[in-house]
Structure 1
Amino acid sequence: MTDLQAPHMSRLWAVGLVTGSVVALVVLLFLGTWQVQRLHWKEDLLATIAARVESAPRPLAEIEALDVGTGDVDYWPARAEGTFVHGAERHFFATHQGNSGYYVYTPLRLDDGRFLFVNRGFVPFDRKDAERRMEGQIEDRVAIEGLARNRLDEKPSFIVPENEPDRNIFFWKDIDLMAATAGLPEGAEVLPFFLDADETANPGGLPIGGVTMIDMPNNHLQYAITWYGLALALAGVLAAWFWRLRRKP
């Protein structure tokens, strides 16, 4: 490299460094702001859940009216009566208290002939087969209380595996596919939401009810502080570098 080329290369290196640093600073500020927005969203969600779950259970007809009017029945306490169709249960991959297994979604035949998918709760991998937990397969008419849950119209994320209805394993709650593969009577009407049964629903022990996640982690403030802290540190480094340049002969 000649003496004439050296200053030019030095300027190019400086411009590249400054440009990269500014881009990184913008990204860090964006991430911090995004986490602040997520913080407000999570706080509103937790407040909504807390207010709803403390209310008295509503008749199923009221939950249906809410679904028609607002499309949001999540976490409203509800009650329903009917008879389980155990042969049509669907299995949703899940974890419970550190153990892997399945949530058992069983259609509840209502008095008017329609069906409501009830998440009866968790069973370990080795109890997926209903014949290994017959004590919990209630044949009599039942009254179920729990929390209503919204349907999902699409897979929540590309990282979620595709459902495997042929193996009766679901990774996201596609209620249409669950109903279509459950062997229900042709033309059967299935309510467009779910009911998560509480812990009193299964006197036989399995499935383990009351599995709805209510206490959700809220770490967005820490994440926001981290991103803003990194942005501040980077800004400090850039400021110190410019200050040294101004003082350099």
Structure 2
Amino acid sequence: MSPEPAARRGAFRTLAAPGIATLVCLAILLGLGTWQLTRKGEKEALIARIVERSRAAPEAPPAPAEWQPARDEFRHVAVAGRFDNGAETLVHGLAPGTVPGRARQGFYVITPFKRDDGSVVLVNRGFVPTELKRREDRADGLVEGETTVTGLLRASETRGAFVPESDPVKGEWFTRDVPAIAAARGLGAVAPYLIEADAAKAPGVPATAWPQGGQLRVDLPNNHMQYAFTWFGIAACLIGVFAVFAWGRLRAR
């Protein structure tokens, strides 16, 4: 047997382990890229569904016992009743400022709303800047008497890992936690969802009055195509690196 075929076979044997490892990594990278493409399609369908719901004509919200976040969240609803302005809760938050890219610090005004049928739902009336925290300083924005509220249904907000914990005793709230706010205010049974009020003002309320509603932005991040390109790009680099490595190993042998 000539030494050249034997050397060639020996060279290929030395590539077996690196080749298997490369194939395993390649399968993982391609799988991640494909998964991101699948997530992209799902996210686009979700965004389209949310936009369609938010732009539909307002309708009555579901009964509390029939509430299903996956089905009902972001639905455009209308309710009639009265605000309990004395029981409002201020939740720390940010809103777009006058300068693009710079957020404004302040609070979201969560106010109990007693519906005509006697049930209670929390309404996020909108954003107020820090300097207008006191209700007396924004009296022109208070809505007294019978009114109709339109807005989008949202599920109760859960606290994220980097969000401070709310302190009901001190009145420091960082999440729009419906059950916790209802318990702290002694509201009893309330709807398990929140209504994010539209920007339109009630009759007689100046357009410049605070709080300013319509702060909810239906703008979900959809970067899955970028992530897919990243994983596929790494896979292509892996193929290139292994090809150069294998070529060098075979030439050396």
TM range (shorter): 0.7 to 0.9
Structure 1 counterpart of 2:11: none
Q: Deviations over 1:164-214 (max 9, x none)?
A: 223333333321101011243xxx320111111111135341111111111
Cα 1:21–1:53 shift into 2, 3 Å = same
Task: Give the stretch that moved more between structures: 31-40 or 109-118.
Answer: 31-40
- 1:209 aligns to 2:209 (yes or no): no
Cα 1:78–1:69 shift into 2, 3 Å = closer
Q: SS of 1:144's equivalent?
A: strand
TM-score for both structures, normalised by structure 2: 0.78
Structure 1: give runs of 5+ residues left out of the alignment: 1-13
Percent pairwise identity: 36
Alpha-carbon RMSD across the aligned residues, in angstroms, is 2.8
Cα 1:225–1:181 shift into 2, 3 Å = same
- 1:151 aligns to 2:152 (yes or no): no
Structure 2 counterpart of 1:137: 142
Cα 1:69–1:207 shift into 2, 3 Å = closer
Counterpart selection for 2:175 from 172, 176, 185: 172
Q: Deviations over 1:126-156 (max 9, x none)?
A: 222222212112222211111111234x54x
TM-score for both structures, normalised by structure 1: 0.79
Confirm or deny: 8 A CA contact 1:77 1:148 kept in the other structure: yes
Confirm or deny: 8 A CA contact 1:144 1:201 kept in the other structure: no
- 1:163 aligns to 2:162 (yes or no): no
Residue identity in the other structure for 1:212: L
Confirm or deny: 8 A CA contact 1:102 1:128 kept in the other structure: yes
Task: State which structure, 1 or 2, has the greater radius of gyration over its C-alpha atoms.
Answer: 2
Confirm or deny: 8 A CA contact 1:91 1:105 kept in the other structure: yes
Q: SS of 2:228's equivalent?
A: helix
Counterpart selection for 2:234 from 197, 209, 230: 230
- 1:109 aligns to 2:114 (yes or no): yes
Structure 2 counterpart of 1:88: 87
Deviation at 1:116, TM superposition (A): 0.6
Deviation at 1:19, TM superposition (A): 9.2
Structure 2: give runs of 5+ residues left out of the alignment: 1-14, 97-102
Confirm or deny: 8 A CA contact 1:57 1:145 kept in the other structure: yes
Deviation at 1:20, TM superposition (A): 8.4
- 1:99 aligns to 2:98 (yes or no): no
Quote the Cα distance in structure 2 between the aligned partners of 1:190 and 1:45: 28
Deviation at 1:218, TM superposition (A): 1.9
Structure 2 counterpart of 1:55: 56
Quote the Cα distance in structure 2 between the aligned partners of 1:17 and 1:94: 52
Cα 1:17–1:89 shift into 2, 3 Å = farther
Cα 1:141–1:221 shift into 2, 3 Å = same
Quote the Cα distance in structure 2 between the aligned partners of 1:21 and 1:95: 47
Structure 2 counterpart of 1:192: 192
